[in-house]
Chain A
Amino acid sequence: MELMIYLIVLSLALGGTGLALFLWALRSGQYEDLDGAASRILFDDPVQPAAVTTDTRRTRA
């Protein structure tokens, strides 16, 4: 029976972590744009100004 007490506490702690993470995600606005999130993964990492320099180099060559 002692085992059960540990298990209950453990399961609640795990569930509670999940709940806390969800509330954090909600607070940080991650549920504001579900459509956008769905399509964002289709695009790669940002093309930073580095890409612009590559581009100019290519034009020069």
Chain B
Amino acid sequence: MNQAAVRTDGVCAHCGLPVPEGGRFCCPGCAAACETIERLGLGRYYEQRLLDPAARPPRPESGEMGDVARFVTTDAAGRYSLLLAVDGLQCGACVWLIEQVLAQAPLREGRVNMTTRRLRLVWDGPLDVAMDASARVEALGYRLVPFDVARLAARSDATGRGLMRALAVAGFAAGNVMLLSIGIWIGAGQNMGPGTRDLLHWVSAVIALPAIAYAGQPFFASAFQALRRGHTNMDVPISIGVVLVSAMSLAETIRHGPHTYFDSAVSLVFFLLIGRVLDHRARAQARATAEQLLALQAGAVTVIRPDGMTAVMAAGSVVPGWMVLVGRGERIGVDGVVTQGTGLLDTSLVTGESVPQPSEPGSVVYAGMINLGDAITVRATGTGAGTLLADCVRMIEAAEARRSRYVVLADRMARLYAPVVHGAALLTFGCWMLLAGAGLAESLLAACAVLIITCPCALALAVPAVQMIATGRLLKAGILLKSATALERLAEVDTVVFDKTGTLALPTLAMIETDSVVPADLRLAASLAVTSRHPLARALVAASGPVPVAQGVVEVPGQGLILATPEGEVRLGSRAFAKAAWAGSTDGPELWLSRPGGVPVRFRFGEQLRRDAFAVLRGLEGLRLDLCILSGDREEAVARVAGEVLLPWQGGCTPVEKVRRIEALRDSGRHVLMVGDGINDGPSQASAHVSMSPATAADLSQTVADVVFQGQALAPVLTVLGLARLTRRLMRQNIALAIGYNAVMVPLAMAGLVTPWLAAAAMSASSLLVIANSFRARGEGQGAWS
């Protein structure tokens, strides 16, 4: 076995997490995964891979996918297929590894899509085949979550492919027609016979007209829809220009005229489609990533069946009335009522409260709460009317209905542009007919030349080109723009409202008062806690850093951990479990460590600000933004955090109050960015001008948000706002360039001086100029806010 290739310098040879004291692996799971990989002769994986610090480390975790059957689709040939989101994909080597391992399972197809980070399994026969195959992949340390294909596939794919097909057709036609046109232009100077010229015009027409009819559809459809609703958008002048130019060129061809503009019309469609395709692609990827994050977050739930047996299944397949068991440290997957057990719930994702709330039989609980106490049983109720979640959903719908449709910059431009351009064409026609006394055909030609020159190629690229580059840059930084208009709205923001819990503060609990803890106690506690997945145990390990794993730790579900040593038992867990005699009050989650002959030690946990919060908030103030905190948490907790980051605040807000505050700001003319993560933030996010959520946020909040950001830092808020302003500046420059180009060319066109080759050259030059300027969104201002 090729062990030399496997690094052992203080990190696990498989997953790359820290391992103390020269161990090769951090856990038995990693050791088994490495053994499997080498047994299959795939050891090269370790040489070729590049661990991505942003991705989840490939550490195998026990867990079940639950009820997968409902995600399986059947195709016409009777084959089954399943789409799974892959968590922990690091680089190309992971794709190779997974596919090699799947090649040895009896599957028809097992292929990973690295762009969307999804694994597709196709097989014949029973579901077990797929379950077995996915278990092999999970044993390597990747986490797989089934995807709802029907919901996803319908949307993005069809539009994206349609645009690509249109682009291919337009590109083919543009290239060929341009070749023919160059022949005509050169021939004009070399006494080409009119017969040859007409032939070339006819060939151009035969290529260009069907191509425009096909590839122009995205523009025609959008223009038609806008006109039918009584609006106008950028596609209206585009469509009118393309159709008129094509018709005029065809007429010229029929009457053996010297000039046709098929090349301009087709190139225009081609250029604009490039912009559309890239824009669509960038956003489709951002949306796919956002969906992936949500799918990975949705955990499985344990259902207690009437016969007393338990079954693990996806939260979505639980029927109201069923009993769901929620263990210590688990996230509650359904809304319901507690029927058994008293516990302590981390409700921060739902209400914004940072201090865990006690629960008892009869308490109403919501999906997203985390059970910090002993195991409880919940009767699922679904989202019936009158619950907090139902209220929030209703308020979001109301807010979205009130919000008027945002008119993007390009369409605002189009509203001014279309009448001016069409007016100029009409004026040209009139002048040529009446003043110059030219014939009908000649006047029409001049008017059409104006339309060709003004056909808003550069103008239509001005906005999407910048947007595409900015979206791509943000995507690389882990910031997902879900809405097409988000950047423009972000650039207008003048007030930022933050939620506290999970937004300014990290969503997970952290150990507090670390100074009063003896390091040796912390290390001992952490060596036990390493073996547990409980949130408090994880926070303890995070506070202590890498420690050796204690061998022989037993987890007592819902209570704590026991380690038997020659001197006696070491216990880590709740106060009662550690047998600590402490008369003080409990004001927050805590863990107790007791060991033979020692006084029990208390570890306290609380919320912790994001590390860069202070600096980011000062940076935002530097952008002349007003900031404030609106939190659902208790006033003391909010005041403490607000004092730390020096912001005005309001605590104890219900979702309704948050919405009222945001609406009051809006009515006073403010453009509010709402950053929040809880279910209780959803309505205020929907009523804000634009909204952001961290990727750890509740489903509801992420669905509403225009922007979702990943990672532990708050910096993305600053990055996004900075880039949005740069984007707006570049968009305006582009529009100025496009208008400047028109100002020069339109008088020439009105005077009838624009020949086809001049039109083609001017149009291409202005488009290239605009695209080149857009590329400045790629690197400019990197140091300023990243």
Contact = CB atoms under 8 A, between A and B. Distances in A.
A29 B115 CA distance: 13
Contacts of B165: 23, 26
Interface stretch (B87-95, B429-437, B681-689, B716-724): B87-95
A5 B114 CA distance: 47
B102 to A, nearest CB: 10
Majority-rule SS of A interface residues: helix
Given A46-B100, A47-B100, A35 B172 contact: no
Interface string A31-47: 11111101110110011
Interface string B205-224: 00100000000000000000
Interface residues on B, range: 20 to 34
Contact of B115 (A1, A23, A26, A32): A32
Interface stretch (B39-47, B531-539, B577-585, B740-748): B39-47
Nearest to A27: B161
A61 to B, nearest CB: 13
A46 B95 CA distance: 12
Contacts of B85: none
B262 to A, nearest CB: 14
Nearest to B196: A1
B196 A19 contact: no
A34 B327 CA distance: 42
Interface residues of A, number: 32
Contacts of A39: 91-93, 95, 114
Nearest to A32: B113
A36 B95 contact: yes
A47 B168 contact: no
A47 B164 CA distance: 35
Contacts of A19: 168-169, 172
Nearest to B91: A39
Majority-rule SS of B interface residues: helix
B223 to A, nearest CB: 25
B525 to A, nearest CB: 42
B172 to A, nearest CB: 4
A5 B199 CA distance: 9
B96 A40 contact: yes
B103 interface: yes
Contacts of B93: 39, 43
B203 interface: yes
Given A22-B168, A39-B92, A51 B40 contact: yes
Given A36-B92, A39-B92, A46 B196 contact: no
Interface in B11-61: 39-42, 48
Interface in B68-110: 91-93, 95-96, 99-100, 103-104
A26 B161 contact: yes
Contacts of A32: 113, 115-116
B96 A43 contact: yes
Interface in B162-200: 164-165, 168-169, 172, 175-176, 179-180, 196, 199
Contact of A42 (B48, B104, B116): B48
B39 A36 contact: no
A8 B204 CA distance: 11
Nearest to B176: A15
Given A19-B169, A55-B40, A26 B196 contact: no
Contact of A47 (B41, B48, B161, B203): B41
Contact of B176 (A11, A31, A40, A51): A11
A33 B114 contact: yes
Nearest to B211: A19
Interface string A14-26: 0110110011001
Contacts of A35: 114-115
A48 B103 contact: yes
Given A8-B203, A40-B92, A42-B92, A26 B168 contact: yes
B317 to A, nearest CB: 29
Given A19-B172, A42-B48, A31 B164 contact: yes
Contacts of B115: 32-36
A12 B204 CA distance: 11
Which of B40, B96, B196 has the most chain A CB atoms closer than 10 A to its own CB? Answer: B96
Nearest to A8: B203
Contacts of B104: 49, 52
Given A4-B196, A35-B114, A52-B41, A26 B164 contact: yes
A4 to B, nearest CB: 7
A39 B91 CA distance: 8
B112 interface: yes
B23 to A, nearest CB: 24
B452 to A, nearest CB: 24
Contacts of B41: 47, 51-52, 54-55
A45 to B, nearest CB: 10
Which of B41, B91, B161 has the most chain A CB atoms closer than 10 A to its own CB? Answer: B41
Nearest to A14: B176
Nearest to B207: A12
A37 to B, nearest CB: 8
Contacts of A12: 176, 207
Contact of A15 (B40, B99, B103, B175): B175
Nearest to A31: B164
B95 A40 contact: yes
Nearest to A54: B41
B112 A36 contact: yes
Contacts of B103: 46-48
A43 B172 contact: no
A49 B161 CA distance: 37
Interface of A: 1, 4-5, 8, 11-12, 15-16, 18-19, 22-23, 26, 31-36, 38-40, 42-43, 46-49, 51-52, 54-55
Interface of B: 39-42, 48, 91-93, 95-96, 99-100, 103-104, 112-116, 161, 164-165, 168-169, 172, 175-176, 179-180, 196, 199, 203, 207
Given A22-B168, A34-B115, 13 more contacts: A23-B165, A26-B164, A32-B113, A33-B114, A35-B114, A36-B112, A36-B115, A39-B93, A43-B48, A46-B100, A47-B40, A47-B100, A52-B40
15 contacts: A4-B196, A5-B199, A8-B180, A26-B168, A31-B164, A33-B114, A34-B115, A36-B115, A39-B93, A40-B92, A43-B93, A47-B41, A47-B42, A54-B41, A55-B39
Closest 6 CB pairs of A and B: A39-B92, A36-B114, A51-B41, A33-B113, A19-B172, A43-B96
